Amino acid sequence: MTTSQPTTHQGPSFLKGHGTENDFVIVPDADGRIELSAAAVARLCDRRAGIGGDGLLRVVRSAAHPEAAGMAGEAAWFMDYRNSDGSIAEMCGNGVRVFARYLQRAGLTGAGDLAVATRAGVRRVHIAKTEADGTLGEITVGMGAAALPAGEVTVTVDGRSWLARNINMGNPHAVAFVDSLDDAGNLYTAPTVSPAAAYPTGVNTEFVVDRGERHVAMRVHERGSGETRSCGTGACAVMVAAARRDGADPAITGRPVTYTVDVPGGRLVITERADGEIEMTGPAVIVAEGTIDPEWLDAPSV
């Protein structure tokens, strides 16, 4: 006599990680076979009914993804980044560090240098060696150069307005210097930024205060996610804005400049070199892994 066993279908694997508490659902998909709709991404990133995250990182071989195939000669892996509402984004600085940490954990790279393909181009990454006590080394990401589109923009919260600096780090940012981070109000609701034509696909908005010499703190509203505990590209945009405000533009001085940028989830160190390249250094941690229930993932949203 034989006893039949119920058939089980293993769902896709996932990991959960964060960089200065900017957290992500990580979905390994080397061959690019997993189809993730915007609704599925939003379900996975839901903090009450899903795994929870500010965004999702799908790990795909560059050669297996149509948007990255042209970069496969430079970077073996493509970071398919999605915001928590399921929308597609160009880049995520904290996400690149977490992405690199996953590759290290999975044995796909080691300490040292690697390249990661993103929708904003190839990003160069350096993973520092693990300390003797087992502490993971910090990760430095070459973020490329900032673009500073011409024209002033204004950020408004609760009837108060500030002039802001328009900076593009592969994705758009509006950086406003304020007296207190409380001035940002409730950043789960997007601040009003004008003129709207300056940001046709939306904008990440940073509010910044000074903490000391070459030391600032920020809060951020990320388009498609709301307020997050950290934003890597945002910290870079803040550093660029602060350096211009302080007369420390490396293109003019000929010297690199480094700022410490405090975010609600920790601390990042941002350096702009004389050639315009911006480097961001900070931690990245993987905290959990498991499998996703395929029936739950495929169920219609209610």
Residue of 141, 231, 238, 243 with catalytic role: 231
Q: Is 232 annotated as a binding residue?
A: yes
Report the SS3 class of residue 88: strand
Q: Could you tell me the residue ranges of all domains in the chain?
A: 13-143+285-298, 153-276
Local confidence pLDDT in tens for the 302 residues of the chain:
444 444 456 789 999 999 999 999 999 999 999 999 999 999 999 999 999 999 999 999 999 999 999 999 999 999 999 999 999 988 899 999 999 999 999 999 999 999 999 999 999 999 999 999 988 999 999 999 999 998 889 999 999 999 999 999 989 999 999 999 999 999 989 999 999 999 999 999 999 999 999 999 999 999 989 999 999 999 999 999 999 999 999 999 999 999 999 999 999 999 999 999 999 999 999 999 999 998 888 877 65
N- to C-terminal Cα separation, the chain: 43
Q: Is 22 annotated as a binding residue?
A: yes
CATH number attached to the domain at 13-143+285-298: 3.10.310.10
DSSP characters over 236-290: HHHHHHHHHHTT--HHHHSS-EEEEEEETTEEEEEEE-TTS-EEEEE--EEEEEE
Give the Cα separation of 261 and 270 in Å (integer): 7
Residue of 42, 59, 92, 257 with catalytic role: 92
Give the Cα separation of 194 and 186 in Å (integer): 18
Q: Is 295 annotated as a binding residue?
A: no
Q: Is 201 annotated as a binding residue?
A: no
Contact between residue 257 and residue 250 where contact means Cβ atoms under 8 Å apart? yes
Q: Is 45 a catalytic residue?
A: no
Q: Is 236 a catalytic residue?
A: no
Q: Is 222 annotated as a binding residue?
A: yes
Q: Directed axis angle between helix 232-245 and helix 93-105, to 10°?
A: 140
Q: Which helix (H) or strand (E) holds 216?
A: strand 215-222
Residue identified by tokens 């490396």 is: 250
CATH topology identical between 13-143+285-298 and 153-276: yes
pTM of the full structure: 0.91
Contacts with 179 (C-beta within 8 Å, 6 or more apart), sequence order = 209
Give the Cα separation of 280 and 269 in Å (integer): 6
Per DSSP bridges, beta strands 257-263 and 215-222 are: parallel
Number of neighbours of residue 288 by Cβ within 10 angstroms: 10
Q: Is 168 annotated as a binding residue?
A: no
153-276 has CATH 3.40.50.920 classification? no
